[in-house]
Amino acid sequence: MTVSSSTDVAMAQRLEALLARHRGWLLHQARCLCRNPADAEDLVQEAMVRFLAAFGQVAQLPDESVCATWLVTTLTNCFYDQLRRQRTRERGASELGQQERSVDPEPPAPALYDRISDEQFSSAVQALSPVARSTFELHARGRKYKEIAEALGIREGTVAKRLHDARSKLRKLLEPLVQLGDT
């Protein structure tokens, strides 16, 4: 008994540490998506509650990158739910029937094996041109288009274009890997 409760405690600590690590990044994304900071806070809160509901009872936490993928998927779904609730509220009670809709079943976490590995992602980034890569990495560090434009001495439109091209190229390089797992 004591053994299981001590593993429970250790597990709870791991979960807490994991969520603490990701909270800042998730909040940054949520602020990009939501109408106001309060909505963004709600969104992250809900994603974390769902995460705990799914992983709070499991014996072993999956790999960090699997957890991250799962959190992002959940955040996205929660965001769509939030949008739907807002629309329902704004359009009045006529669509009240939808309000109590049950929470969507969560998508299964992608199998450990079927994802893009950290190493493959980094290799793909190395394959970008130096210009594309530096723009992409600055943005990944949380800089806004404007800040990047100033740092590199280019126009904001150019930043958007470079970022778009970098992402398209990465997806082209990585797509075969996503499909590989299904064969």
Partner 1 sequence: MSAHCERVERFADGELSPDEAEGFRQHLLDCSRCQAELGNLLQLKMMASRHVERQPSGVQALPPRRSFPRWSTAAAVGFAFAAVLAVVLFLRVRTPRADPWLASEPERRLEMRMAIAAVDHHRPLTARKMGQDSPQGAKLPLEALTVLEREGDTGGMAAAFLARNDKNLADQAQTYLEPLPSTPENETLRAVALLVKGAPEEALRHLDRALEQNPTLPQALWNKGLALRDLGLQETAALSFHAVAQQGEPGWAEEARQRAEALHAAEQARIQRWQAIMNAGQELAAHGTPPSAAILAERSPILRRFFYEAVRTRTSREQVQALLPLARELDPRTGGGVLARYVERIAARDFTLRAPLVQAYTQLLQGTLPPERVQALIAELLRSPEDDLLMGALVHTQAVAGHLDAFEARAKASEDPWFQLIAFQERAKAQLSRAQEQEALQTIQSAHAICTSTPTEYPCEVVHLELAQIEGKLMRLDEAWEHAKQGWQQARAMNDRDQEPVALDLLARLAELRNNAPLARAYAAEGIYRRSSDR
Which residues contribute to the site for partner 1 (CB under 8 A)?
25, 29, 31-33, 35, 65, 68-69, 71-73, 75-76, 80, 83-84, 87, 111-113, 116-127, 136-137, 139-142, 144-145, 160, 163-164, 167, 170-173, 176-177, 180, 183
Nearer to partner 1, 5 or 141 (CB): 141
Looking at the Cβ atoms of 5 and 183, the one nearer to partner 1 is 183
Share of the chain residues as helix, strand and coil, in percent rounded to the nearest 5: 75, 0, 25
Nearer to partner 1 by Cβ, of 4 and 182: the residue is 182
Instruction: Give least dist CB 40 to partner 1, A.
Output: 10
Torsions phi, psi for 147 (to 5 deg): -65, -40
Choose between 8 and 150: whose C-beta lies nearer to partner 1.
150
Q: How many CB atoms lie within 10 A of CB 5?
A: 9
Q: What is the CA radius of gyration of the chain?
A: 20
Q: Compute the least distance from the CB of residue 2 to partner 1, in Å.
A: 29
DSSP letters for 83-138: HHHHHHHHT-GGGGGGTTPPPPPPPPPPPGGGS--HHHHHHHHHTS-HHHHHHHHH
**Shortest spacing between CB 50 and partner 1, in angstroms:** 15
Q: Which is nearer to partner 1, 12 or 140 (CB)?
A: 140
**Smallest gap from residue 37 Cβ to partner 1 (A):** 12
Q: How many CB atoms lie within 10 A of CB 152?
A: 15
Shortest distance, position 97 Cβ to partner 1, whole Å:
17
